[in-house]
Amino acid sequence: MAWRIDYADTARRQLRKLDRATARRILDFMDDKVAPLDDPRSLGKALQGPLGAFWRYRVDDYRIICDIEDAVLRVLVIRVGRRREIYR
């Protein structure tokens, strides 16, 4: 069972601002590690507090905030950024 990875407009803009190597690493992580999983929650971590409905993945010093939609087998990437900036 393969999950589809989609990117919100804000995530696309944030990826464009990153250098190519970092953006490629993040895209490869989502495509190679998360998409083929049976359950994308087996990797990463659930967020708490006001962002409690979302899931996060870590790639180096960057965080990828996602909404996992089980009904349509889709992982929607909401935000991408450095750890010190992403949760604000």
pLDDT at 1: 65
The tens-digit pLDDT sequence of the chain (88 residues) is 689 999 999 999 999 999 999 999 999 999 999 999 999 999 999 999 888 899 999 999 999 999 999 999 999 999 999 988 887 7
Q: According to the 3-state scheme, what is the secondary structure of the chain?
A: CCCEEEECHHHHHHHHHCCHHHHHHHHHHHHHHHCCCCCHHHCCEECCHHHCCCEEEEECCEEEEEEEEHHHCEEEEEEEEEHHHHCC
Which residue is it, tokens 């970092």?
A: 22
Rounded Cα–Cα distance for residues 60 and 77 (Å): 17
